[in-house]
Amino acid sequence: MRNRYFSQSRVLLAPLALMLLISGCQLSQEATSSSHFLVYSARETNGRSLYISDEEGTYSLKVMDATPSDGYPAASPDGKQIAFYGKYDNYKTWSIHRVNVDGTDMQRLTHKKLVWDSAPSWSADGKTIMFSREYEDANGEWREEIWLMNADGSEQRQVEALEGRAASFTPDGRILFQSKTGPSQIFLADIDGGNLLQLTKNDANARSPKMSPDGSQIAFLSNRDGNQELYTMNADGTNQRRITFNEVEDWDPAWSGDGTRLYFVSDNGDRFYDVYTVNKDGSSLRKVLDDGSQVSSARHLSRKYLERLVDANSQERKEVSGR
């Protein structure tokens, strides 16, 4: 059954109304009683746009669309901003952007043409954004690089000691990523690329690692059993365990805010994906969102706040239709 808000009407956040709500509701204070929320890329008629939802998929609210294809959203630690990628030059240039959670003050942070900048990740203090860059160099070789920049886009610099992608910050400030070598494997490294630690050693690909909020476990994808499925392991690479057993490939692993569940997407047979959740022991698998991809979880946005957003937008629709 489709989410009633998501299927009946895709709700565009009203920036002015939300700015008033944020100032009046004191979002930072509500965080003390909050659970968490999801940010994801949703399919629309003319491309993909950014949405937020509560973790159960009860509400879905559109944040914005900056380009014909927006995705890989990641919320800042305080829940007030979202970093994401958008595509330009007929999809040949991918750039990192930043926007407030209410859809205001969108800024393009990277501008290099004919490279793929994707998968932004915030440092724990919200001051730094990590992203992955891919491109074909002058010699025809495919490059996979890991980059850092300040949250405003300044001081962009490559972590030259590392080669790979799908990089993200760990809770203690290290880099978790997949290597470029085939088959790709999962590594941990210090922020300068030092103290490299290999966590998977397999003849199959290991991809898209994401560390749990408490830093104790890592979720990742692997096709070691023939189909690309969701796995977990301890942060030191031990106790690797298969979590999903699906007939289609799984993608985009993410942890719930409390670390008890995992989110991922699977092909829905309609040339796109649906978002699922499963307990970290593999139990209680269920679908939470239709037509969504590249999901991630974030802290510090309360269910009560989401409900008020829905109510505000519902009232605005009524007022517009009644004019």
CB 189 within 8 A of CB 182: no
Least confident of 54-63, 112-121, 125-134: 54-63
16-20, 52-56, 236-240, 289-293 — which is least confidently predicted?
Answer: 16-20
Strand partners, 93: 88
As a whole number of angstroms, the distance between CA 199 and CA 218 comes to 10
Per-residue pLDDT of 169-220, as tens digits, reads 999 999 999 999 789 999 999 999 999 999 999 999 999 999 999 999 999 9
pLDDT at 25: 41
- Cα gap 228→252, rounded to integer Å: 11
First to last CA, the chain: 32
pLDDT band at 303 (very low <50, low <70, confident <90, very high): low
Rounded CA-CA distance 208/278 in Å is 17
* CATH code for residues 4-322: 2.120.10.30
d(CA 22, CA 15): 10
Which residue would you say has higher pLDDT here, 134 or 55? 134
Asked, as a colleague might, if the bond just before 120 is cis with ω within 30 of 0, I would say no
Mean pLDDT of the chain: 86
Per-residue pLDDT tens for 226-274? 899 999 999 999 999 999 998 889 999 999 999 999 999 998 877 789 9
CA atoms of 62 and 56, how far apart (whole Å):
16
Stretch among 2-6, 90-94, 125-129 having the lowest mean pLDDT: 2-6
CB of 139 closer than 8 Å to CB of 186: no
199-221 in b/e burial notation, b at 16+ Cβ within 10 A?
Answer: bbeeeebbbbbbbbbeeebbbbb
Strand 128-136 vs strand 142-150: parallel, antiparallel, or unpaired?
antiparallel
Point out which residues pair with 40 in neighbouring strands: 51
Greatest C-alpha distance within the chain: 63
3-state DSSP helix/strand/coil % of the chain, to nearest 5: 15, 45, 40
Nearest-angstrom CA–CA distance, 249 and 262: 16
CB 289 within 8 A of CB 56: no
Beta bridge partners of 153: none
d(CA 286, CA 3): 13
What's the pLDDT at 5?
33
Residue 161's pLDDT is 97
Q: CA-to-CA distance for 186 and 198, rounded, in angstroms?
A: 6
Task: Give exposure, 31-52, as e/b (b: 16+ Cβ within 10 Å).
Answer: beebbbbbbbbbbeeebbbbbb
pLDDT at 16: 33
**pTM of this structure:** 0.84
- pLDDT at position 184 is 96
